[in-house]
Each structure stands twice: as C-alpha cells, then as structure tokens.
Chains A and B, each alone.
Chain A
C-alpha cells in the first residue's frame, strides 16, 4: 500500500531565508508526486508535480521540489521565504493510473518577519 510521511509537524523559518519541507513516500512502482498548500478556511491549492523526467520540478510561487528515487523523497524548497508562505503544506503520492491519491499529514510552515 502506498503511504506518505511528512516528518515535521511544524517548520519555522525567517523571512528571506531558504525553506525546506520534507516528504518521503512508499509506493510500488513509479510514483506520481504532488505538493499542495492550504490556507486557513480554504481548500488545497496545487503547487507542483513530478510524473517523470527531470528530478528538479519548478512550480507556483517560486517553489520547487527535488525527486530523489534512492531516498524515496520529494522535498519542497524555496530559495527565499515570504511571510505570505505561512500555511499548511501537504505532500501526496499516487502509484499510477487507477490508484488513488494518498496525502501526508501536513506540515505547518511559519515564516517569521
């Protein structure tokens, strides 16, 4: 069965500093990986995805993520954090066509001014 872990409940970073939100996964076969962000009282918003190809994926709002097959990781990164990036971030995995999305438990990012 597929699963996603986000080992940090909370990540704090100062504005202007780089940020990393970690995600590891377990799936049979090649994974389809996604990152979403959730602001208070809102639904999830898509940030980026990895299906195949270049291991470094660029997404919305300056975010990027690196797929590492040997470490089964898909960490979300941003070179310079903004206060407005403060939100809940979810990693999700899908094992392939016909398989469902499995979401991680979420990581709360706080960017301090």
Chain B
C-alpha cells in the first residue's frame, strides 16, 4: 500500500511570511494527525482529525496555525505569519483506529530566516 505522502519536503521562508503543507494519508485511514518536531525533541501533536472533524487541536497555536481536512482525505496545515520558533519538521500521520499504529510521512522541513 502507498504510504503517507507529504509535500513539499523542504521549505525556506522569511519570518512573517505564510506557508502551507499538504498531506495525503493512507487510503481508508479515517484518523489524521499533524505533528511538529523541533530538532532534538519528540513529535508534538498539533491537531488530530477524525474524517473531516477536529478531535483535538488543544496544542495548535490558533493565532497563526490553521488546518483543514475538507473531504476527509487530504489535509493542509498553514502557518501565517511564521515566526522564527516555527522552524521544525512538520510530520503528518494517519491510522486506521485508535489503538492502531500511526503511519508517518517523511515530513516537511521548515526553515525560517
């Protein structure tokens, strides 16, 4: 089966600019996650979707981050405006159930200048 697809792989922007990341989960996976992984740390959950509904966005900085999964398949994560501390790898993952393992994409490495 095809894995989780993410694009772009790398993005460099200046602070205060906006950026968007795209994720296509494994076919049939209802649950989709976005994580932020800062260098040297474990992934931190930003938002979790179940189909096209938000399950948890308690750690999403809503003043600058937004995410959507309109048709319950693909998802986009946006940052506007970006800050220096947003430099990180943004990982998308999907799973087939709550006690099922998550399958991760290779991530988007974001660098803020």
List residues of A whose CB falls within 8 A of some B CB.
4, 32, 34, 36, 41-46, 49, 51, 90, 92, 94, 97-98, 100-101, 103-106
Contacts of A51 in B (CB 8 A): 99
| Interface contact tally, CB-CB below 8 A | 52
Please count how many residues in chain B sit with their CB below 8 Å of the partner chain's CB atoms.
23
Check A43–B91 contact: CB distance below 8 A: yes
Mind listing 15 A-B residue pairs with CB under 8 Å? A34-B101, A41-B109, A42-B107, A44-B43, A44-B93, A46-B101, A90-B43, A97-B98, A100-B45, A100-B48, A100-B56, A101-B45, A101-B102, A103-B44, A105-B42
* Known pairs A103-B43, A106-B41, A106-B42; A98 contacts B98 (CB<8 A): yes
Q: How far is the CA of A46 from the CA of B40 in the complex (A)?
A: 19
List B contacts of A49 (CB < 8 A).
Answer: 99, 101
